[in-house]
């Protein structure tokens, strides 16, 4: 009987610990926050940054994406699609951002980005150019 009580307490403890962990989950310590990196298969090198600083939680804003070859040559004919979300919350982006302008020299503007919560966000870009396609994921912490 007593043992049962201990087991029940233990279950509650685990539940509390788990839920507490789930809710107050902070981003992993070793999260790669680089704003410039090669795509998964190394086809392109991509750099991203908000068009204007500071990057605020809430308002719609734009990002500038720069795509080059690994050798550093700008890629100007890329088709880029944007996806993402919050891996720890299991939801996607609150908006559907899209590339609205190719600015030349491998630069593109993505409009309609919003981060409506604090925490770890992923911004995923799928890039196709010159018959090759590749993808890259950037991490951000709001």
Q: Which residues bind other proteins (CB under 8 A)?
A: 2-3, 6-7, 9-10, 12-17, 19-20, 22-24, 57-60, 89-98, 111-112, 116-119
**Identity of the residue, 9 or 117, whose beta carbon is nearer to Cu ion in the bound complex:** 117
**Identity of the residue, 45 or 48, whose beta carbon is nearer to other proteins in the bound complex:** 48
Give which of Cu ion, other proteins, none residue 17 binds (C-beta under 5 to 8 Å, depending on kind).
other proteins
**Identity of the residue, 17 or 117, whose beta carbon is nearer to Cu ion in the bound complex:** 117
Interior CA angle at 62 toward 34 and 27, to 5°? 40
Query: How far apart, in Å, are the Cα atoms of 105 and each of 52, 108, 110?
Result: 19, 9, 15
Give which of other proteins, Cu ion, none residue 137 binds (C-beta under 5 to 8 Å, depending on kind).
none
In the complex, which residues of this chain contact Cu ion (CB under 5 A)?
86, 89, 117
Interior CA angle at 57 toward 53 and 60, to 5°? 75
CB 110 to other proteins: min, Å: 10
**Identity of the residue, 19 or 103, whose beta carbon is nearer to other proteins in the bound complex:** 19
Instruction: Report the residue number whose CB is nearest to Cu ion.
Output: 89
Q: In this structure, what token pair is assigned to residue 113?
A: 């980005």
CA separation for the pair 134, 69 (Å, rounded): 12
CB 118 to other proteins: min, Å: 7
User: Residue 119: helix, strand or coil by DSSP?
Assistant: coil
Burial of 71 (0-12, 13-18, 19+ CB in 10 A): exposed
């Amino acid at each position: 009987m007593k043992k049962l009580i201990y087991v029940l307490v233990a279950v509650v403890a685990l539940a509390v610990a788990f839920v507490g962990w789930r809710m107050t989950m902070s981003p992993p310590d070793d999260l790669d926050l680089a704003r410039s990196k090669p795509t998964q298969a190394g086809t392109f090198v991509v750099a991203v940054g908000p068009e204007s600083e500071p990057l605020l939680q809430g308002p719609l804003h734009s990002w500038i994406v720069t795509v080059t070859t690994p050798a550093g040559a700008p890629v100007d004919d890329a088709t880029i699609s944007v996806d993402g979300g919050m891996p720890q919350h299991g939801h996607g982006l609150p908006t559907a951002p899209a590339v609205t302008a190719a600015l030349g020299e491998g630069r593109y503007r993505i409009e309609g980005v919003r981060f409506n919560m604090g925490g770890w966000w992923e911004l995923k870009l799928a890039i196709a150019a010159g018959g090759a396609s590749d993808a890259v994921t950037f991490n951000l912490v709001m």
